[in-house]
Amino acid sequence: MATADVTVMGAGIFGLSVAYACARRGAVVRVVDPGGVASGASGGIVGALAPHVPENWNEKKAFQFDSLIMAAPFWGGVEALTGADVGYSRSGRLQPLADDRAVALARARAISAADLWQGKAVWEVVPSGDDPWMPPSPTGLVVRDTLSALIHPRRATRALADAVLALGGEVVDDAAPEGRVVWATGWRGLAELGGTGVKGQAALLRHDAKGQPQLFADALHIIPHGDGTVAIGSTSEREFVDPLGTDAGLDDVLARAVAAFPILADAPVIARWAGMRPRSRSRAPILGRHPLRGGQFVANGGFKIGFGMAPKVGEVMADLMLDGRETAPDGFGLS
C-alpha cells in the first residue's frame, strides 16, 4: 500500500468507523491493532442501538439521535460494499411500565419526542396485549419506540474492516503511524485522558425471536438477533477481580432477565462474554485533537453507546482530520 494519509490506531467500532469515513473520501487509510479487529469491547454480543430518553435534551443526545438516523444508510453501504450481513435492524423497543408514575412520565416523554425526534421516530404508550414476546407489564401498558435498533457487533466490525480493505486501505497488527494519526484504543488508551474502563458481562441464548423488537426492563437489554439467538446484557462494574472473566454477576443478570421476561425461561445459554468498555469522565465520547499528542487526534469513550454513535463519529472525525472542520460538539473534547 502507498504511504498512508491516515493511520487509525485501534480496530474497534470507533476506529473502524473513522477509517471507513476517511477511505470513502479518498484517503489512503491504515488501521493498526495488535489484537486484531474488535479484540476489545467492540467484540461483544449485545448490539443494542438504544436512544437516550427524549427529555432534558443536550448535545450528546442530539448527536446520538442524528447518528441513529444515519445508521440504516451507513450499514447498508457497508453491506453493499462487502456483501456481508451485519445484522442491522431498526426493530424498535418495548419497555413495560411498572406503575402510574411511570405511565405519566412515559406519556410526557411521548410529547417531547414528537418535537425532539423531528417526526423521524415515535415514542408512545400502548397496551401490552397478549403477544408472547410482549413483556409482562403491571399496568398493562408499555413504551414502544421506533428509533431503537440492533446490530450484530462481531459481524459489523468485521464488515467495516472489509469495507476499509475494499476501499484500498489495510488493517494490520503492527506498523509505524503515518500521515494524520487518530487514537481509538479503547479503555487502555482512555486512561491517559482521565477515563476508565467499566466491565460489562453479557450472555447469548438460543431462542428464535427474529424480527421482534428489543426489550428493556430492570436495566437489561434483550436483543433478538436475526440468527436465532437472543443477547442479554449487561452489567456495569467499576470494581472487579478479572476484567475479562464471567462470574456470579452474569448469573444474576440471567436470573433477572427470566424474571422480567418469562418467555426466556427455557432458552439455553450458548455463550458468555465479559469485556471492558471505555468511559470518559463526562460519559460523552472524546472526539477531536489529542491533548497529549501534538498534531494527532483521538476518538474514544463510546462506553455503552459506541455502535449507536459510530456513523456520526466517523463523519465528524473525517471532517476534522481531512478538511480541518470542527463539527463535533464542544462537550466532546478535552482542553
Instruction: Give pLDDT tens digits for 304-331.
Output: 999 999 999 999 999 999 999 999 999 9
Q: What is the pLDDT of residue 234?
A: 86
pTM of the model: 0.96
C-alpha cell at 248: 456470579
User: Is the model's pLDDT at 77 over the cut of 90?
Assistant: yes
CA–CA separation, 291 vs 190, rounded Å? 12
Of 207, 286, 200, nearest to 245 (Cα)?
Answer: 200
User: Domains plus CATH for the chain?
Assistant: 6-90+140-193+281-332 (3.50.50.60)
User: pLDDT tens digits, residue range 4-25?
Assistant: 999 999 999 999 999 999 999 9
Hey, what's the torsion of the CAs at 142, 148, 150, 153, to 10 degrees? -120
The predicted-structure confidence for 271-313, as pLDDT tens digits, reads as follows: 999 999 999 999 999 999 999 999 999 999 999 999 999 999 9
Q: Residue 333 — pLDDT band, cuts 50, 70, 90?
A: confident
Q: Give residue 301's pLDDT.
A: 96
335 band by pLDDT with thresholds 50, 70 and 90: low
* Cis peptide bond prior to 234, omega within 30° of 0: yes
pLDDT at 199 exceeding the cut of 70: yes
Edge-to-edge strand list for the sheet holding 29-32: 170-172, 29-32, 6-9, 180-183, 297-300, 286-289
Return the beta strands (E) in 71-122 as ranges. Answer: 93-96
Positive or negative: CA dihedral 83, 84, 87, 90: negative
Is it the case that residue 268 has pLDDT exceeding 70? yes
